[in-house]
Structure 1
């Protein structure tokens, strides 16, 4: 209910955009900022609040989100001026972060068998609330006035605050550490500038100075933010985890589904309200057109639980594929379903059904591929990319509807072809999402959907009683090993959780209950290690020591005779220098083993003879012997031979 309420804020004032210029004594361009400001604050708040929820408590940040919405609604209702309504709308937008935080709460609090269906419904509230906001605003405005729209949000927000305080427990699953202030500021600047350029580019002009300046600021901020997040000790967004193929592809699919989904929101009411003089319009009022969106919103309520059950049966990946295919087929049908109001409503219902299925599965794909302690922040990034998709969609659709026009009684209005182009664009975006989803690794989908089938104890089946374990990965001299990966398995082999250590070697994992677990530790340049650890809940901190440093060693000879003082160099296959050393009297050399990947190893002898071999480094010690006499060829005509690894 809270997710639906905060999602409703996104479309709350859209039906009033034509009324606000007269009400607040402003022009239409200024009135459009009442939508844009919510978009900007939602984009900024979602990753920040989601990360804070993982660190300081999900229930706490859910209450913060609802409180900002209530305060914003009151300011907008009582202010009576454009500035106060704008401030209120900005505060309402901050509440959008509640949805990914709520998904994290559901994962922490519900029995495993109910997680898929619950997260499906919570994720679908993004679409349900947006669809219901259109008719609700028209109905309230027509009978009670524009201030009542914000008072309804205030009353509903207070009711949800009381309900959350009474019902929702605080999750014990938290990630200790310091908040990444620098990363939050850089990302906020980058997102605000990017979305400002996208949402206002059509009004300002795509080649105007403000648009170009906003894009330049976004590019520069992102260019600084990415390397900063890779170096910072505890990043707000874990880019290494986000770059994992399952997470990356799911987020790209979220962006494409967001582009496709918003075409329905943006065009359907306009199509229904268009004057009959166009030959295709139906001349409906704002209220009636909004009511025509309600069946689509209700379809999401019906379809989301079905999608949750489908995820449990066939896996999240294939459920996502079904959703994107339905979305593409629905928009293809909408190109032709224009002859009557019932056909348009039917097309809208098909679109929202596909949207509900697609949105419902994404949290399960994300949660199956990230550490439990990053559940809210990872889903926050996914929700953010959906919002970016809707912003891109809005800009593209606005450009299409103002370009492909027809003259009606001296007024330029969108032609039927413009709406058909919009639906075709949305279908192509959905098809692109289908292609991306097809490449999501099958194992991830299985992992995401297999949670209910993993053997659990009777206590776990009723109420999760999770144990947060923190610790550090150390060398033999107790110095920390940065970016090590810890994987925890049950002693029967099923996965439990995993974590990547930060730059000080600290990690956090979540266990379903006290007991023995198999802990596997690995890090670039170190021999992997596994051991069974008993966790009884009394001391949840553990240290893992990686004792064996991996080395790249070998012997350089010439006709079987050791070659001293030869220079051995290692470069990446892409050309970057890695390291060099000189052989000893016995011809032997030793280098710190680099991260797993493809390299070139080169030897330069005292008589200027050289040999180069391609080398595939794996997570084990490498022994590479090279003989200059056997391998030497003129430098200008050298051809690499296969490496011998012993």
Structure 2
């Protein structure tokens, strides 16, 4: 049986200043980790020349981070529940710093891939931060704090793109990674000084077989999705990976249902609210990524195509950055709506706003200001929805499983974005025009991807309607210990 050592219901006793400090430090950590995901975007066209590798091989600098993050997120979440969330948060941040330093010292592909793997292993920072907030913050602060932490994924990505583009254009490219290492070191020091270790622990034995099985299954699945377009969707390697993923994940599920202390409690995950929230998160992650793929290409395509805007990567970053600011601004709005109406309503509203944003995008793509508007509307919807997801998860899982449950939800979003990347890539590769003797995505291709993004948001909205009607998030937070196992009397 899990053993919850303590539950700090009086977390606010030390005053609002301490709570504000914890929130700010954890949100900063989330932003820094999300920066890592956009850091290499300005370098993608130059990576083969910079690393002396083929274009196909150079993509491993991106794929490696995706695979490492997918493996690390659920594993680190479970370890956080067992041995301490702050401890695993620090481990994740140290891996980010070390990985950034390795990349900063790299001039060839192998060390770059190693560094990017280490950076990807830090992906669990955001779900760990949300879980620390649940343990440490007073109930009246929990909703807005978790909404801000959840939105930090998009905030860091949106704000990091113009900064990375600026540095890549004006300095040596290694500076990008040394900057990441420096920011990671600052956050690590702040966590050490200002974030307390929660006394909420589940204890137990780590499910090594479950961790290995899930890791293998996810690597096979995401590798097939991310490399399928390069290898061919009917290529033997792609088919073998998809088949292996299916077999391994089925066997993993069988093991998890039969072991006493599973990596992921599938019975808890199968609860209606948790299951539907995770499915909606995957679909929402699919919808979210379409913007990140379409807008930069539209902005950078030559004006001679008739629809490209011929802008630099720096302008791309500046166009995308308002969406990050909007996400941050929507975090308290998301919390207020969840407090008044419940997080189910907030998630539905967020999906609706994202669908509206993509609908606008199918028509408004001929001017820079139009793309700023589209990205900001979509960012507002993402900010609303991302704030609601952890509230829905935490209201339905025991307190001793918070980190594992939030990590699984984060993983579902990542899987959704990976599938979106593959589907959008196929659409844009099929709908092309010839410009300068080379095929480039057509305007109709961009419109189709926008329409697919809008459709995915509508599907997420439909799924959210089946979530059980719940009391507002603030009431759920007050009773968040109800699902936790009772604390054993002290022997002393």
Structure-2-length-normalised TM-score: 0.92
- Please name the residue that 2:52 is paired with: 25
Structure 1 residue 18 displacement after superposition = 0.4
Q: Retained in 1: the 8 A contact 2:42–2:168?
A: no
Q: Retained in 2: the 8 A contact 1:316–1:449?
A: no
Gaps of 5+ in 1: 455-493, 500-507, 511-534, 541-646
Aligned equivalents of 2:324 and 2:443: distance in 1? 25
Q: Please state if 1:192 is matched with 2:219.
A: yes
- Please name the residue that 2:319 is paired with: 292
- Aligned with residue 482 of structure 2, among 494, 497, 504: 497
Aligned equivalents of 1:37 and 1:52: distance in 2? 22
Which one has a bigger Cα radius of gyration?
1
- Which structure's residues are more often helix, by fraction? 2
Q: How does 1:82-121 map to 2 (within 5 A)?
A: 82-121=109-148
Structure 1 residue 539 displacement after superposition = 4.8
Q: Retained in 2: the 8 A contact 1:113–1:451?
A: no
- Please name the residue that 1:74 is paired with: 101
* Per-residue deviation, residues 267-305 of structure 1 (Å, max 9, x unmatched): 111110011111111100112112211111111111112
Structure-1-length-normalised TM-score: 0.71
Partner of 2:433: helix, strand, or coil? strand
- Aligned with residue 154 of structure 2, among 127, 130, 134: 127
- Please name the residue that 1:258 is paired with: 285
* Per-residue deviation, residues 96-149 of structure 1 (Å, max 9, x unmatched): 111100000001111110000000000011111122232121111122211000
Aligned equivalents of 1:495 and 1:119: distance in 2? 14
Q: Please state if 1:166 is matched with 2:193.
A: yes
Q: Please state if 1:417 is matched with 2:444.
A: yes
Aligned equivalents of 1:449 and 1:255: distance in 2? 25
- Aligned with residue 268 of structure 2, among 241, 254, 269: 241
Q: Retained in 2: the 8 A contact 1:260–1:429?
A: yes
- Please name the residue that 1:347 is paired with: 374
Q: CA 1:509–1:427 in 2, change beyond 3 Å: closer, same or farther?
A: farther
The alignment of Structure 1 onto Structure 2 pairs a total of residues equal to 465
Partner of 1:497: helix, strand, or coil? coil
Partner of 1:311: helix, strand, or coil? helix
Partner of 2:246: helix, strand, or coil? helix
- Please name the residue that 1:137 is paired with: 164
- Aligned with residue 235 of structure 2, among 208, 214, 233: 208
Aligned equivalents of 1:83 and 1:152: distance in 2? 21
4+ residue runs over 6 A deviation: none
Q: Retained in 1: the 8 A contact 2:399–2:481?
A: no
- Please name the residue that 2:406 is paired with: 379
- Which structure's residues are more often strand, by fraction? 1
- Please name the residue that 2:475 is paired with: 450
Aligned equivalents of 1:15 and 1:440: distance in 2? 40
* Per-residue deviation, residues 310-351 of structure 1 (Å, max 9, x unmatched): 211111000111000001111111100112100011101111
Q: CA 1:193–1:509 in 2, change beyond 3 Å: closer, same or farther?
A: farther
Root-mean-square deviation over aligned CA pairs? 1.3
Aligned equivalents of 2:181 and 2:40: distance in 1? 15
Structure 1 residue 375 displacement after superposition = 0.6
Q: Retained in 2: the 8 A contact 1:406–1:414?
A: yes
Aligned equivalents of 1:26 and 1:126: distance in 2? 30
Q: Retained in 2: the 8 A contact 1:39–1:93?
A: yes
- Please name the residue that 1:306 is paired with: 333
Q: Retained in 2: the 8 A contact 1:311–1:319?
A: yes
Aligned equivalents of 1:48 and 1:392: distance in 2? 22
Structure 1 residue 538 displacement after superposition = 3.8
- Please name the residue that 2:84 is paired with: 57
